[in-house]
Chain A
Amino acid sequence: MTSHTGGSTWGRDAAIASLVLVVLALLPFAGDKGLVFLAGTLTLHVIIGLSWNLMFGRTGLVSFGHASFFAIGGYAFAWVAKVSPGLHPLLLLAAAGLFGAFVAFIVGVIALRRSVGVYFAILTLALGQIVYLLLSYIPALGREDGFTGIRRPRLALGVASIDLGSGDNYYYFIVVMCGVLAAGLWWVMHGRIGRVFKSIQQDAERAAFLGINIQAYRIGSFAIASGTTAIAGALYAPWLQLLTPEVAHWTFSARPILYTLLGGVQSFWGPAVGALVFAILEYGTRTLHGLSEIVIGSILLLVVLAFPGGLLGGLSRLVGRIRRNPPIAARSEIVR
């Protein structure tokens, strides 16, 4: 759908992004502290989902260890900020992202050598468990109690200096940074690299035959997605001011997968829609003991069984049916 036509969706996507940013910017004036906190967390989750879909929807890689990179970024940020305070927060974010991408690169070189598909999924699952266990037992990282007392830093920007610890400043910082990250992901997906990724996802053998180094591009996709998630993790650490090993647990790795498949694989905004719907479901059912899981699970099941293309895939088919012109792309993604 959107991916094949490249530039023509630029205007529409920019309009959607601006609208989302305006809503997020106005939110602190309309809602209370709790809502602002949820919105900040949701924004980070959107980045996790979007970056995961760079691997799955665009390159055909199923990573089941995405949360471990979120945790790696968060813990790296927290630890460096504690050991050498005074470093510029943007530098710290970049370092956390590069560290996450570096770990992904090393893992990718080894894991993607021969194994894709289910093997890659299970290998990344094993990686996730290793990270989870290490975080639970290393004393310097707080073990199972978690890494506590992570400060929100001061942001020095040339002449001005903003204290991210006061008011809603850190929330705005998250929104701006996530906007930058989402724009970066959009650019990667719709540029030349994105088209190479897409060709690998559609037919790896044929792509290799055309002279594309599929190995290198797969590693690249894995490293970009993981690095982006690591930055999201680094943004999350001072947001909650606490990190526990739970952020590396495999049930958290399942989140971006749920967001993507719930919202729709083919569309850029699919994971964002999925994350939003999931957050609403979670928030709406938070007081119901046990019913929360039943409701979320049933809705997920219903979406998978009734709209295998995700919510956006189902929507575009519905629109297509109204126009009496069913889009072929929406059909083919189900059969695939």
Chain B
Amino acid sequence: MLALLFTPLFNGLFTAMVVFLFATGLTLVFGILRILNFAHGGFFMIGAYLAFSLTRLFASDASTFAYLLISILAGIAVGLCGLVVERLVFRPLQHVDEAYSLIATYALLLISEGAVKAIWGVSFHSMMTPAALSGAVIVDDLVIPLFAIFIIGLGIVCYLLMEWILQHTATGKLMRSVASDPWMAGMLGINVPRFYSWIVIIGFFLAGLAGGLLLPNQTLSPNLASVFVVQAFGVLIVGGMGNIRGTFIASVLLCVIDSYGSIIFTEVPGIFFYVAMAAMLLARPQGLIAGARL
């Protein structure tokens, strides 16, 4: 009985946090630079592959500490890629039409896919869950994998941390002010271009970090880049065009609806995500949290 009611809830929350962790960097970059970054998926994938190689080389004992450390290292490496991308691509794109920046980021997605194929090959890989996180919690007939609980907790902690930084620290207020009016922020003496560089670096760092953290849950293949992008775009838009709170709420709503929907309508799993997304956009075109930047 418990399983029937709550298994979809946990599955939905788990997917929601996976999508949210993927979408945080995307939301940050879109919220401030207004660039819808297709390449986010590509750099997420590079983060995952880097973490995979690092684990193989240095940490075959599957300890949780090594898993976290390697994820952060992958994030830093991808963040450095972000610096290069910002200088070479995003900065020149500031003054051209939105549609062109969409194409440029799609081109970056292709390049990152190609790089992964050239470096790591096209075969499939998978990685063990760290030993401490590989069990399951059993309540009555309800079985919840520990890793799912870990990811759900991680997603919530990540959300609360970002919310706190954005709403209650000086850096966060600076970020919101640049997001709402970059020209005025520049007039007040903020170095906006350098600020943009940092945002892109942080956004890419989050992509790489998410790649490393979600690695035990994924099958590694060059297709990984385009798996989450569409869902992440969905929660980004439903949430209200680039604010963290909206993205979080939208992830939870859409994924939980999809999870319950897939039980009722088993023929086509996954379709309720998009149906719910279209319905929400039609009911509230401005998004769940309208007008808020970040």
Interface residues of A in 102-146 (CB under 8 A from B): 110-111, 113-115, 118-119, 122-123, 125-127, 129-130, 133-134, 136-138
Interface residues of A in 251-277 (CB under 8 A from B): 251, 254, 257-258, 261
**A301-B108 contact given A110-B282, A111-B282, A308-B97, CB 8 Å threshold:** yes
C-alpha gap A137/B267 in the complex (Å): 7
A123 cross-chain contacts in B, Cβ below 8 A: 278, 281-282
**A127-B278 contact given A290-B117, A296-B110, A301-B111, CB 8 Å threshold:** yes
B104 cross-chain contacts in A, Cβ below 8 A: 300-301, 304-305
Secondary structure call for the A interface? helix
Q: Can you name 19 extra interface pairs (CB under 8 A) apart from A114-B282, A134-B268?
A: A110-B282, A111-B282, A119-B237, A122-B237, A125-B230, A125-B233, A126-B234, A129-B230, A130-B274, A130-B278, A258-B106, A261-B100, A261-B103, A289-B118, A293-B111, A293-B117, A296-B107, A300-B106, A300-B107
Contact of B285 among A56, A114, A250, A258 (CB under 8 A): A114
CB <8 Å contact, A137 and B92 = no
A257 nearest CB neighbor, chain B only: B103
CB <8 Å contact, A118 and B36 = yes
CB <8 Å contact, B237 and A300 = no
Contact of A308 among B100, B226, B268 (CB under 8 A): B100
> What is the 8 Å Cβ interface bit string for chain B, positions 170-201, against chain A (1 contact, 0 not)?
00000000000000000000000000000000
CB <8 Å contact, A336 and B97 = yes
C-alpha gap A291/B175 in the complex (Å): 38
C-alpha gap A292/B222 in the complex (Å): 13
Contact of B108 among A113, A118, A254, A297 (CB under 8 A): A297
Using CB atoms and an 8 Å cutoff, list the residues of chain A in contact with chain B.
56, 62, 110-111, 113-115, 118-119, 122-123, 125-127, 129-130, 133-134, 136-138, 250-251, 254, 257-258, 261, 289-298, 300-301, 304-305, 308, 334, 336
A138 cross-chain contacts in B, Cβ below 8 A: 267-268
Pairs A–B under 8 Å by Cβ, sample size 19: A110-B282, A111-B278, A114-B285, A118-B237, A119-B237, A122-B233, A129-B274, A138-B267, A250-B226, A254-B106, A289-B122, A290-B114, A291-B114, A301-B107, A301-B111, A304-B100, A305-B89, A305-B92, A334-B96
The 8 closest A-B pairs by CB, nearest first: A293-B114, A290-B117, A290-B118, A297-B110, A297-B111, A294-B114, A300-B107, A301-B107
Q: Is B115 an interface residue (CB 8 A)?
A: yes
A127 cross-chain contacts in B, Cβ below 8 A: 274, 278
CB <8 Å contact, B103 and A292 = no
A258 nearest CB neighbor, chain B only: B103
CB <8 Å contact, B118 and A294 = yes
C-alpha gap A292/B109 in the complex (Å): 13
Residue of B89, B93, B118 contacting most chain A CB atoms (<10 Å) = B118
C-alpha gap A125/B236 in the complex (Å): 13
Secondary structure call for the B interface? helix
- CB of B43 to closest CB in A, whole Å: 13
B271 cross-chain contacts in A, Cβ below 8 A: 130, 133-134
Interface size on B, residues (CB 8 A): 45
- CB of A111 to closest CB in B, whole Å: 7
C-alpha gap A294/B115 in the complex (Å): 7
A129 nearest CB neighbor, chain B only: B274
C-alpha gap A292/B114 in the complex (Å): 7
Q: Is B86 an interface residue (CB 8 A)?
A: no
CB <8 Å contact, B96 and A113 = no
Interface residues of B in 114-172 (CB under 8 A from A): 114-119, 121-122
C-alpha gap A129/B270 in the complex (Å): 9
**A119-B285 contact given A126-B277, A133-B268, CB 8 Å threshold:** yes
CB <8 Å contact, A304 and B107 = yes
B266 nearest CB neighbor, chain A only: A137
Q: Is B3 an interface residue (CB 8 A)?
A: no
Contact of B99 among A62, A133, A301 (CB under 8 A): A62
A297 cross-chain contacts in B, Cβ below 8 A: 107-111, 114
B270 nearest CB neighbor, chain A only: A133
A291 cross-chain contacts in B, Cβ below 8 A: 114, 118
B270 cross-chain contacts in A, Cβ below 8 A: 133
- CB of A284 to closest CB in B, whole Å: 14
CB <8 Å contact, A261 and B99 = yes
B99 cross-chain contacts in A, Cβ below 8 A: 56, 62, 257, 261
